[in-house]
Structure 1
C-alpha cells in the first residue's frame, strides 16, 4: 500500500526525507560530472536509465494501489526495510563514483588512455554505481509493501541498467582491450556479486 494513504505523518516524512536524500545525491553526482568534450558511445543508455527509473517508480506506485491483494505480510517492516535499502544504494553509488573520481561520467565515454579501476567496490563488481542505483530503485518497491511493486522495480531497473551495462561493456572492451578483458576475468560479476 502506498505509504501516504492512511499513514501517520512520521513514516510519511521519513519516506520523503529518504527519497530526498537519494535525489540530492544523484543531482550532486550529475553536477560534479557534467558532460565533457569527449566523444560519447552512450547509444541512448542515459535515457534508457531515466525511463526505467521514472517508469519503474510510477508503475510500482500504481501496482501497489491497483493490486492490493499482493501486499507483503508485514508492510511496516517492508516500509522501513525499503527506506534502508534506498539509503544503502545511495552509499554504494557514492562510494563507486568517488572511487572513479574524474573517470566517472553520466554518459558512456571511454578514451584509450583511461585506466581500469579495481579499487573500492570495483573489486567485487564491475559496475557498482549501477548496483547502488538499482538498490535505491528497488528500495522504493520494497517500501511500498507490495510484491508486484517490488517485481516492477527490479525488472525496470534491470532493463535500464542492463542495457547501459551492455553498451558500456562493449565500449570498454573495444577501447581498453586486454586490460579490461583481464579485469573482467578477475571480477566476473557485473552488478551483483555471485549472481550477475
Structure 2
C-alpha cells in the first residue's frame, strides 16, 4: 500500500498546485472585472474532493484489501489520463481556468483544445479520476460514494457555470 499512498499524496500535491494556479487566476479575473457565481456550492466541492483522497487511504487501510493487478493498473492509467486532460483544460483556458466559476466580461468563449469536442472536459477528468483513483487499490466504496455525490454536485456546478456563461454579452464570438 506504500506506493498507493504515494500515488494519493501525489494527487493531493497536484490539487495544491491547482489551488495555487486558481488563486493566481482569481486575482487576474477579478482585476479585469470578473464576477463569481456558485460560491454557495464551492465548500461542498472542496469537502468532496478532500474526502475522496482521505477515503481512498482510509478504505484500503481499514479493509486490508489487496491490490487487484488488472483493475489496479488499468485504473492507474485512467488516473494519469485524467491528469493529462485536466492540465490540457488548464492550459487551453489559460488565465480563465479556475476552481471557482468566474466570468470575465468581454472575453470570448473558448472553444479550442478539449473544448472543441466537450462543453465541460475538466468535469470529465474529475469524474474519471474520482472513479479510478479509489479503484487503483480496490476501494470500491469510496469510488461509489464519490461518484454519486460528484454526480449530484456536477448537476449544480454545470447549471451554475452554464448560467454564468449565458449571461455573457451576446456580441462575444467563439474562439
1:33 counterpart = 2:25: yes
**TM-superposition CA deviations, 1:112-156 (whole Å, max 9, x none):** 312111111001211112222332222222113143332122113
Q: How does 1:73-88 map to 2 (within 5 A)?
A: 75-88=68-81
Number of corresponding residues: 170
Q: How does 1:1-196 map to 2 (within 5 A)?
A: 4=1, 9=2, 11-12=3-4, 15-16=7-8, 18-19=10-11, 22-23=14-15, 25-35=17-27, 36-37=30-31, 38-63=34-59, 75-177=68-170
Q: Secondary structure at the match of 2:39?
A: coil
Cα RMSD (Å) of the superposition?
3.2
TM-score by length of 1: 0.68
Unaligned 5+ segments in structure 2 are none
Distance 1:28 1:47, change over 3 A: same
Distance 1:57 1:22, change over 3 A: same
The CA distance in 2 between the partners of 1:120 and 1:136, in whole Å, is 20
Question: Do the aligned partners of 1:142 and 1:150 also contact (CA within 8 Å) in 2?
Answer: yes
Q: Secondary structure at the match of 1:106?
A: coil
Distance 1:118 1:87, change over 3 A: same
Unaligned 5+ segments in structure 1 are 184-196
The CA distance in 1 between the partners of 2:14 and 2:81, in whole Å, is 10
**TM-superposition CA deviations, 1:149-192 (whole Å, max 9, x none):** 32122113223333221111111112245869xx8xxxxxxxxx
Question: Do the aligned partners of 2:52 and 2:146 also contact (CA within 8 Å) in 1?
Answer: yes
The CA distance in 1 between the partners of 2:77 and 2:159, in whole Å, is 29
